[in-house]
């Protein structure tokens, strides 16, 4: 199904524009990513609706996306691993937020842990998308830290169940930018360094 949809869109793009092969491959990659993400989230939000955690999952998604967008992080090598890890994030963590409540000490620990991890490791690139520009890396880190600081203040200053969701999003993404997660799944880390050497 993915190939049919992507091929159909690619044919229309080829007919309307004169792109070279490199540009077309970039567009195809982007379309495949959009298709996979849309189909995956339709499945997740359907399951979350059945589990009666739709709003928790939506809030998790809203808080998670800015962190992921700017700090980047680990991407699974295959679809199965991606589905499993995404299910943990977008079904497991929203569900977890409904059964646990973080006390203030745990919130402080979560904030300090996250701040340290994001300062040291963000942004974390991938073999397919190395971030070779130092200026761009700095820009991504600044944007990341902006959101991390805002989330940290919300976690510490607001007395609401929503702070559990924010804390889980913060911690989950911080794990995905560490060298350890790359090592566990045998994926190269700091890929921009290899590009600079070449």
Residue 196 confidence (pLDDT): 54
**Position 127 in a domain:** yes
Residues ≥6 apart with Cβ < 8 Å to 146: none
In a domain, 27, yes or no: no
Residue 118 lies in a domain: yes
For residue 78, the model assigns a pLDDT of 86
In this prediction, residue 130 carries a pLDDT of 82
Query: Residue 83: inside a domain, yes or no?
Result: no
Total of domains in the chain? 1
Residue 84 covered by a domain: no
Any domain includes 119: yes
- Measure the CA–CA gap between 115 and 104, rounded to whole angstroms: 16
Buried b (16+ CB within 10 A) or exposed e, 15-42: eeeeeeeeeeeebeeebeeebeeeebee
What are the residues facing 124 on neighbouring strands? 72
Predicted pLDDT at 127: 79
Domain that holds residue 139: 54-77+103-197
**Per-residue pLDDT, 193:** 66
What secondary structure, in 3-state letters, does the chain show? CHHHHHHHHHHHHHHHCCCCHHHHHHHHHHHHHHHHHHHHHHHHHHHHHHCCCHHHHHHHHHHHHHHHHHHECCCCCCHHHHHHHHHHHHHHHHHHHHHCCCCHHHHHHHHHHHHHHHHHHCCECCCCCCCCCHHHHHHHHHHHHHHHHHHHHHHHHCCCCHHHHHHHHHHHHHHHCCHHHHHHCCCCCCHHHHHHHC
| R_g of the chain, CA atoms, integer Å | 19
Report the distance separating Cα 168 and Cα 5, nearest Å: 34
The verdict on residue 3 lying in a domain is no
pTM of the model: 0.83
Angle ∠(161,180,118) on CA atoms, nearest 5: 50
- Residue 174: per-residue pLDDT: 97
Decide if 179 is inside a domain: yes
How would you write the pLDDT of the chain (198 residues) with one tens digit per residue? 767 777 778 778 777 777 777 777 777 777 777 887 788 889 999 999 999 999 999 999 999 999 999 999 998 888 889 899 999 999 999 999 999 999 999 999 999 999 999 999 999 888 778 888 889 999 999 999 999 999 999 999 998 989 999 999 999 999 999 999 999 998 888 766 666 545
Q: What is the dihedral of CA 29, 35, 172, 77, to 10 degrees?
A: -50
């Amino acid at each position: 199904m993915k190939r049919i949809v992507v091929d159909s869109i690619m044919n229309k793009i080829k007919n309307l524009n004169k792109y070279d092969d490199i540009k077309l491959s970039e567009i195809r990659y982007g379309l495949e990513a959009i298709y996979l993400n849309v189909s995956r989230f339709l499945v997740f939000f359907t399951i979350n609706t059945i589990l009666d955690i739709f709003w928790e999952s939506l809030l998790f998604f809203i808080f998670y996306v800015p962190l992921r967008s700017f700090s980047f992080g680990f991407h699974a090598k295959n679809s199965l691993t991606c589905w499993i890890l995404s299910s943990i994030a977008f079904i497991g963590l929203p569900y977890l937020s409904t059964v646990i409540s973080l006390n203030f000490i745990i919130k402080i620990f979560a904030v300090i842990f996250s701040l340290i991890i994001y300062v040291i490791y963000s942004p974390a690139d991938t073999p397919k998308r190395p971030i070779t520009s130092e200026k761009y890396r700095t820009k991504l880190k600044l944007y990341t830290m902006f959101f991390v600081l805002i989330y940290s203040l919300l976690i510490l200053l607001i007395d609401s169940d929503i702070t559990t969701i924010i804390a889980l999003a913060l911690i989950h993404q911080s794990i995905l930018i560490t060298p350890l997660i790359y090592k566990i799944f045998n994926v190269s880390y700091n890929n921009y360094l290899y590009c600079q050497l070449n």
